[in-house]
Amino acid sequence: MTPVAASWLPLSPGERSVAIEVLLGGPLSRTELARRLDLSAGSLTRLTKPLIESGLLVEVPEAGAPAEVRQGRPSQPLDVVAESRSFIGFKITEDMVYGVVTTLRSEIVARYDRPLTSREPAEVVEVLGEMTDALTADHPRLAGIGIGVGGLVEDRAVVGESPFLGWRDVPLAELVEGRTGLPVVVENDVAALVEAETWFGAGRGLDRFVVLTIGAGIGYGLVLGGKRVPYAEEDRGFGRHWIIDPNGPLTPDGARGSAVSLLTIPNIRYQVQAATGRDRTYEEILELAAAGEPMPARVIEEAARALGTLVAQIANFVLPQKILLAGEGVGLMDIAGKTVADTIRALRHPLAAPVELETKVSDFHDWARGAAVLAIQVLVLGAADA
């Protein structure tokens, strides 16, 4: 653990649940909160008082639209002061560091990226430090930093193993804390994105929720009971052994016909190049497929069927309330969404509840935002794993 970051104030369990509910549920009156949290009205007066005094919550002047004219004393909605603290989120890639500043609500208010010239831990820490310095100038009320890294992260502090950075057991949180003086949370990038979507995104308030990311690789995140389930092979080549079609294409990465070989961007590009002799970007391939060019269309069609199979299997076994497709490689949903949907339908029981599927193309700033959410969770609300 990081050296117990400066939480806003020691929140009691009751106060914390109120704070989180308002943070995630928009402005809410005390009565509404009492209903949602199954507490009495009196308890809500008690719990909200210190939160308001500390400046975390404020009474807002009634929602703009008095939709329904109600009798009785009007309710007094409470809202978090989103700007009262800022958070930095970093996503470290092979050659870039993407940075964002967010509010307490995880709205991005600034972006700042820097190329990475060296992958030496000391150098990276220095880049992060300089970026933090620059961002601090414009955003003084910084409460903490979250960092997302591809690879295995331990205790939300130490990068245990990151192949693309060539790191082993780098105590990144400690180093950045020493450089910046701010509390730091480090997490695997997929895990951070999953947490962010669970708190502020597609998975808000859900009990069973799955995130599937498609990009340079495949990422899988399982959220049960509002908590992400960690697993051993996390972010060390996930999906390489999910065989979808034993006769599928053979690609440089991943087993033959695996999710990785059928769906990731590098392997789709590889397949098209192998068939046509020309290297094209992922976007170009999607356009060509949409235009009916045979080979790209076939590769994309096959990828769509693979994705549908994957989603159907997940839906059948995990029974999630929602599946989020994220990452840079979900563009195929736009042009082959029907194939995906048809495949899913064919592999599900007719009586089964339809899969709620959401697609969200994410860029690197979304990954950085995910890391910032980790900081919000841990530093402000002290909800390390709640």
Partner DNA sequence: CTTGATTCTTCCGCGACGAAAGTAAGTGAC
Partner DNA sequence: GTCACTTACTTTCGTCGCGGAAGAATCAAG
Residues that bind DNA (CB under 7 A): 12-14, 29-32, 38-48, 69-77
The pair of structure tokens assigned to 125 is: 């820490």
> Where in 285-324 is the site for its own copies (CB under 8 A)?
313-314, 316-319
Q: Give least dist CB 27 to DNA, A.
A: 10
The residue (of 33 and 92) whose beta carbon lies closer to DNA is 33
Pick one of its own copies, DNA, none as the site partner of residue 84 (Cβ within 5 to 8 A by kind).
Answer: none
The residue (of 257 and 266) whose beta carbon lies closer to its own copies is 257
Q: Give least dist CB 32 to DNA, A.
A: 7
* d(C-alpha 127, C-alpha 109), whole Å: 20
Q: How many H-runs (helices) and E-runs (strands) does the chain carry?
A: 12, 15
Q: Give least dist CB 382 to DNA, A.
A: 14
Residue of 238, 270, 364, 367 that binds its own copies (CB under 8 A): 238
Pick one of DNA, its own copies, none as the site partner of residue 16 (Cβ within 5 to 8 A by kind).
Answer: none
* d(C-alpha 29, C-alpha 23), whole Å: 13
Sheet holding 96-102, edge to edge: 108-115, 96-102, 86-92, 142-149, 184-188
Contact between 167 and 151 (Cβ < 8 Å): yes
Contact between 324 and 355 (Cβ < 8 Å): no
Contact between 73 and 30 (Cβ < 8 Å): no
Q: Give least dist CB 45 to DNA, A.
A: 3
* d(C-alpha 371, C-alpha 263), whole Å: 25
> Where in 346-365 is the site for its own copies (CB under 8 A)?
346-353
Pick one of its own copies, DNA, none as the site partner of residue 43 (Cβ within 5 to 8 A by kind).
Answer: DNA
Pick one of DNA, its own copies, none as the site partner of residue 75 (Cβ within 5 to 8 A by kind).
Answer: DNA
**Is 232 a residue that touches its own copies (CB under 8 A)?**
yes
* d(C-alpha 10, C-alpha 54), whole Å: 11
